[in-house]
Amino acid sequence: MNASVPCFRTDLIKTLTLMQPRTTSRENLNRPDGTVVNEPGQSAGSRNASPRILGAARAIAAREGAGKVTIEAVAKEAGLSKGGVLYNFSTKKALLSGLLDQMLVAHRQLLEKVPERYPSRTLRGHLETVLQSQDLDDDLSMAILAASASDPRLLDPLRTELTCDLERILSDAKRSPDAMIAVLAIQGLRFQMLLNLPDGGADIREGVIERLRTIIDELE
């Protein structure tokens, strides 16, 4: 990470928090982040089950599509009661938020794989993230976007992530307008893939990708 562009990793902190056991204190019921504390007598197997629940949600999305991800279906897939799922994620929207956190952590891990010898490693990582996106992530992304129409705050972790990345990209490129052009082109490529928009054909698509790589090389 570029030391000149500090960034508080709220998405990573939030995801790590999902792994921690929760207190059963009743004053913590219905937390603002969408999680709830169990009633006395709640099964211990339901506590700290967030990774298991998120894995079940992804399995359903991969097999049947993100539209089939419901609290009831996830509970069945995870081998938990509906209350066990609601203990960790009080609504489907909270569940989607957890899935978004997972996707952002995967995004960060991919960026960190870009060798440090590249001055524009964050920008390079963004391009590779788009090119390596999978159908499952596209399906989940569409479900999250649909849910954000009624609650734009659902995308706040994504906005935080991209704001940090953009500042790092511009700092690395000495605030060159070409860096911003590359960012916008990469974002456009992502939405073209996500929405299955016309891409001009394979030759044009490959030409655009190669041109983006050339722009990134020139920034370095």
pLDDT tens, 74-95? 999 999 999 999 999 999 999 9
> Locate tokens 């659902």: which residue?
154
Q: Is the dihedral of CA 128, 134, 136, 142 positive or negative?
A: positive
As a whole number of angstroms, the distance between CA 126 and CA 182 comes to 10
Q: What pLDDT, on a 0 to 100 scale, did the predictor assign at position 39?
A: 42
Q: How confident is the model at residue 3 (pLDDT cuts 50, 70, 90)?
A: very low
Average pLDDT over residues 92-100: 94
Average pLDDT over residues 154-183: 96
Q: How confident is the model at residue 47 (pLDDT cuts 50, 70, 90)?
A: low
Tokens for 168, please give them. Answer: 């790092």
Number of C-beta neighbours around residue 182 at 10 A: 26
Tokens for 120, please give them. Answer: 């524009």
Residue-averaged pLDDT of the chain: 82
Tokens for 172, please give them. Answer: 């690395």
Distances (CA, A) of 147 to 67, 96, 99, 220: 11, 8, 13, 39
pTM of the predicted structure, to 2 decimals: 0.76
85 residue type, one letter: V
Question: Is pLDDT at 14 greater than 80 in this prediction?
Answer: no
Question: Is pLDDT at 138 greater than 90 in this prediction?
Answer: no
As a whole number of angstroms, the distance between CA 140 and CA 74 comes to 14
Which residues make Cβ contacts (< 8 Å) with residue 132, sequence separation at least 6? 110
Q: In the chain, what are the domain boundaries?
A: 10-93, 105-219
Q: What pLDDT, on a 0 to 100 scale, did the predictor assign at position 32?
A: 38
As a whole number of angstroms, the distance between CA 94 and CA 4 comes to 34
